[in-house]
Every structure is written in structure tokens, then in C-alpha cells.
Structure 1
Amino acid sequence: MALSFTSLNSGSNGNCYYIENQNDAILVDAGITCRETEKRMERLGLSMTKVRAIFVSHEHSDHIRGIPVIAKKYKLPVFITEGTLKKSGFSLESHLLRTFKAHEAVQIGDLEITAFPKFHDASEPHSFIISCNGIKVGVFTDIGIPCENVIRYFSACHAAFLEANYDEDMLENGRYPYHLKARIRGGHGHLSNKQALDLFCNNGTHMSHLLLSHLSRDNNNPDLVLELFKSRSQGTEIIVASREMETKVYHIIHPSIVPIEKKAKIEFVQYSLFS
């Protein structure tokens, strides 16, 4: 059974990633409006009626803005940590709330979604791996540094959304105040093009697709980062996920051979179910 995936939007103005198999689909984050999510999916020939759940990476508004309306309209369970829910500022009916344990798969039909902790300046930030029939697609955005968790899960993926937020020179010489520059590159902010490229070259050149995600409007250039990665791609299809529109839908039918997962010291973080 194939996995298909698309970015509906990627950037500080909104993030929403769609992953499906033949029968079921999920959203990772929903930072654009319900109406815009529906319009973009319709243009791609996708339907919200196939979506079974929303998984929330963290509470920043560009990742959660559309969740209350989408979840209520389509009666979708929202998988979120208690700390993230408290910081989010929105309320949902209790029967729509679910939680997850880090490194333990949640089953949604034939999809398995595994969350893992990462470094980012949020309450309880997580990224996700979506698996089906041996195929794995990961969502790796809003990452301060490529920690052991990120390396371990990234190396096991057949395709990934990978943050390439900023060019180091553009950030250094740009208009942002010093405190914001320090936040972005300080280890709990975002991945630079160079950090993302190093992660890919050392752990991801076996992938079929890499979608460069969460590019800064002010501190990056899509042509620059696309050329940077294409020159080192070794056969991986490189796509820049747009800040303004959806990408094509990409498909993986058969899993390729991937390296044995690297050993890493994993911090197991568990959360209790909401009452």
C-alpha cells in the first residue's frame, strides 16, 4: 500500500502537511484556515472526508491556527500533548482530544504515527514519522538542532519534509534585531540551510523525495536552497515547499533499502491521557 504526501503550506505564515494511504489520511499541523485547507486539497483532488486525525507538533500559531474549525467541522480527533494544549489558547470539546506517548506508534487505520521530542522553543515540541507497509515519511520542521532523535528517525525515512529555514549570511546581514537572530540560530529555533544539508548528506541521500520546508521569507531564497541541495542530491528528488500554495502530491509505492537506524540515547517522554 503506497504512501502519498503533500505540503499544503509551509512557512511562518502557516504550516500544514498531508499524508495518506489508500484508505486513510492525517494532517500534521493545520496552520492555515479551514477554508484554505479545503481549497488546496480540492485543487489536488484530495478530500477532507478521508482525513481521520490531526497531529500537533507544538503550539505556535503558524501550526495550529486552523485546528479548532477543522476539528469541529469534520469531528476529527486532535492528537496533542497536555502542555501544548494549555499553551495553544484554543478550546476543543473533550471527546476530540487525544494524546500520545513519545516513540510509541498511534494507529490510524493502516497508518502508524510515531512522535518524538525535539529541540524548539515551545512547551512540548514533537516531530512525527508516518509509516505504512514498511514505508516511512517524516515531518522535520521547527528544529533547533539535529539532535539524536532527529538523526535516528530521519535516517529511517523514505521521504521527508525537512526544515531549511535560513541562509546564515542572509540572517546575519538582514534586518532582524539581534535578539531574534539569536533566537533563530540559538539551538531551540530553526535549522539553517547548512544544518539541513549536513543532516541530509549524512543520513538521507537514500530517500526518494525531500521537501525543503519552513523557508524564511526574509532570510532564505528558494532558488538558492534548491540549487544547494540538488548539487548533493544523489538521485533524491528535491522540492521546495511553498509559503503560498500547495505542492504536488508525491507517492512512494515500494520501500527502498534504508540504513539500519543509528543508535542514539533516546529520552522517553510519556504523557497521560486527558480525563
Structure 2
Amino acid sequence: MSLQITSLNSGSNGNCYYIGNATDAVLIDAGISCRETERRMKRLGLKMDIVKAIFISHEHSDHIRGLEVLSKKYCLPVYITPKTMLHGRLALNELYVKVFDAMTPVAIGGLTIHAFSKAHDAIEPHSFMICHNDIRIGVFTDIGIPCSNLISHFQQCHAAFLEANYDEQMLEQGRYPYFLKKRIRGGRGHLSNAQALEVFKKHKPAFMTHLLLSHLSRDNNKPELVLDLFRPHAGRTQVVVASRDVETAIYHISAVPQTVIPKIDYIQGQLAF
């Protein structure tokens, strides 16, 4: 059995990632509206009735904007840390609030979700790895540095959402004020293209079939630019840029090695190869 994955949106305007099998699915973050989440899932043929929980990585608005309405409408449990709940000023039904920590895996139907801490300027930020049988999917965005936690989990993944937020030269020469540039590249902000590429080159497992480059900056990055960086190192891994405007296609991830022929396409407003 495979896992289905898609990015419903990825960027500073909203983040939401879907991972599921035939009967159970979870959302990682809910940073777009409930209505837009429904629309994008419907276009993909995905059903809300198999979504069993939402996991929240941290309290920034682009990760929680649609959470309250989505949880209330579908009576969805929300896995969140107490400090993230407090600092996000979230008004959730206490019946649906579930606390997680980095020490205890969470079982959601046939899925197991592992959380681990990361370097980001939020109160209790976490990344996630979602497992089903021997299949492992990582959601690794909003990361200031490629710490040992990130590397050890990345090395286990059959597929991953990996942040490639900015090009160093575009950020340096761009319109952002100095304090914001410092925040982005200061070790608790975001991963650059070059940092993400180093993680991929040095730590990609041989069995990784898909990499979805995520959380690209609108002002300090370009899909074509980051793909040009990754293309020579892709091997048999299909690399896709997750859009900040539309959902990606659904990718079926298996633990059995697959032959993926690198290519370059323009699908649903996104470049992939």
C-alpha cells in the first residue's frame, strides 16, 4: 500500500500539506482558509471524511489561519503544543485539542506521526515525519538551520517536503529591510536554496523517490532557479516545486524502490523534473 501526498499550498501566504492512505489522512498545518482547503482537495479527488487530524508545527499565521474553522466544521482533533496554542491565540473547542510532544509518536488510524523540534523563531516549533508500514514522509519547513534532527529524519524518508525559501543573492539585493533579511538568514528563520541543496546532496537516502521543495519566497526565489540547482543532483528522485498559489498533483509514495526518470514539466502552474 502507498501513501498519497500533496501540498495544498506552500509559502508565506499559507501552508497545508496532506498525507494519507486509502482510509486515514492527516493535514500538517492549516494555513489557508477552510473553503480553499475544501476546493483544492475536491479538485484532487480527496475527501475530507478520511482526514482524521490536523498537526500544527508552530503558531505563525501562515500555518494556522484556517485552523479554527476547519477543526470546528469537521470536528477534527488538533495536535498542538500548549505554548503554540497560547501564542497562536487560538479559540479551539477543548474537546478537539490534543497535546503532542517530541518523545511520543501519535497513532492516527494506520498512520504514525513523529514530531521533532527544529530551529525557528516560534515558541515551540516542530517538524513531522509520517509513517505507514515502512513508508516515511517528512514535512520539513520553516527551519533556520539544517540541524541534526532534520538530517537524521531526512535520511529515513521515501519522500519529503523540504524548505528552499530563498536565494542568497536575491535576498541580499532585494527590497526587504535589513532586520527582516537578518531574521530570515539568522539561524532561526528559513533554509536557503544552498542549505537545502546541501541537505539533499549529502543526506538523501538512495530510496527517496520524491522531493517537494517548499515554502519558496515570492520575492527572494524563483522556481526555475531552485530547480536549476537541484536538477544535476536529482538522480532518480523526482523533484517538484510546491506552489504558493495552487495545489500540487497527488504523488503516490511506496516503500518499494521505483524507477523515476527525471524530467521537466509544467503542471498545474508548477515546474517539476
Q: Compute the displacement of 1:205 (Å).
A: 5.1
Name the CA distance, whole Å, in 1 between partners of 2:82 and 2:28.
17
Instruction: Tell me what 2:36 maps to.
Output: 36
Deviations 1:200-235 (A, max 9, x none): 111115210000000000000111101211111111
Q: Compute the displacement of 1:82 (Å).
A: 0.3
Deviations 1:59-87 (A, max 9, x none): 00000000000000000000000000000
Q: Compute the displacement of 1:104 (Å).
A: 2.3
Does the aligned pair in 2 maintain the 1:134–1:255 contact within 8 Å?
no
1:60 equivalent in alignment to 2:60: yes
Gaps of 5+ in 1: 258-275
Deviations 1:135-191 (A, max 9, x none): 000000000000010011011101000000000000001010110000000000000
Q: TM-score, normalised by structure 2?
A: 0.93
Name the CA distance, whole Å, in 2 between partners of 1:103 and 1:175.
41
Q: Compute the displacement of 1:129 (Å).
A: 0.1
Q: Compute the displacement of 1:256 (Å).
A: 4.1
Name the CA distance, whole Å, in 1 between partners of 2:33 and 2:209.
30
Q: Which amino acid aligns with 1:63?
A: H
Instruction: Tell me what 1:111 maps to.
Output: 111
Name the CA distance, whole Å, in 1 between partners of 2:257 and 2:116.
23
Does the aligned pair in 2 maintain the 1:205–1:236 contact within 8 Å?
no
Name segments (4+ residues, structure 1) moved above 4 Å: none
Does the aligned pair in 1 maintain the 2:4–2:250 contact within 8 Å?
yes
Instruction: Tell me what 1:238 maps to.
Output: 239
| Matched residues, number | 257
Name the CA distance, whole Å, in 1 between partners of 2:33 and 2:168.
31
Q: Compute the displacement of 1:253 (Å).
A: 2.6
CA RMSD of aligned residues (A): 1.0
Q: TM-score, normalised by structure 1?
A: 0.92
Instruction: Tell me what 2:213 maps to.
Output: 212
Does the aligned pair in 1 maintain the 2:174–2:220 contact within 8 Å?
yes
Q: Bigger shift: 85-94 or 185-194? A: 85-94
Q: Which amino acid aligns with 2:246?
A: M
Does the aligned pair in 1 maintain the 2:158–2:255 contact within 8 Å?
no
Deviations 1:234-271 (A, max 9, x none): 110000000000000001133449xxxxxxxxxxxxxx
Gaps of 5+ in 2: 259-273
